[in-house]
Amino acid sequence: MTLRITIPENPSEADRDAIIAPLRAYNIAHAGDPRIRPVAILLTDEHGTHIGGLWGKCVYDWLFVELLAVPEEYRGGSYGKTLMSEAEGIARANGCTGVWLDTYEFQARGFYEKLGFEVFGMLEDHPIGQKRFFLHKRL
């Protein structure tokens, strides 16, 4: 059988599923069930509107924090610290070894380091002229 390469102009979830299916099967065969658990911790205003928060997932004994957003007018009010503390609690409750994330040079590296995170990797020129940092914290 011969395979061919196709590049969809507007990739779909079905395209993603087709790619991830063999990868997921391979990973499970070699590392067991990843026990994927989505995590959402929302910041909600007095009107009940969700205005930010934390999004991530527990996978293979680590919590990956994909997104953390506190609107500018609420920064400095310990909301970010509280969101991260809640995330660590969820990670512990799910038997995670630690928490990892990435941040850009112009974002919050110092904030995460104050919470005990350490840099384990860096990508230069992403975006050009800036750096992207990868941090982790063992629980």
Question: What does pLDDT average to in each consecutive run of 10 residues of the chain (139 residues)?
Answer: 96 96 96 96 97 98 98 95 98 97 96 98 97 98
Q: What is the pLDDT of residue 87?
A: 98
State the pLDDT at residue 94: 96
For the question of whether the overall pTM of this predicted structure is more than 0.85, the answer is: yes
Start-to-end CA span in the chain (Å): 48
DSSP, residue by residue, the chain: --------SS--HHHHHHHHHHHHHHHHHHH-----EEEEEEEE-TTS-EEEEEEEEEETTEEEEEEEE--GGGTTSSHHHHHHHHHHHHHHHTT-SEEEEEEETTTTHHHHHHTT-EEEEEEESSSTT-EEEEEEEE-
22 assigned to some structural domain: no
Q: What is the pLDDT of residue 107?
A: 95
pLDDT (0 to 100) of residue 16: 96
Q: Report yes or no on 132 lying in a domain.
A: yes
Q: Is residue 3 part of a domain?
A: no
CATH label of the domain that carries residue 100: 3.40.630.30
Quote the domain boundaries for residue 66: 34-138
For the chain, the domain total comes to 1
Assigned domain for 21 exists = no
Residue-level pLDDT at 73: 95
Q: 132 burial class (0-12, 13-18, 19+ CB within 10 angstroms)?
A: middle
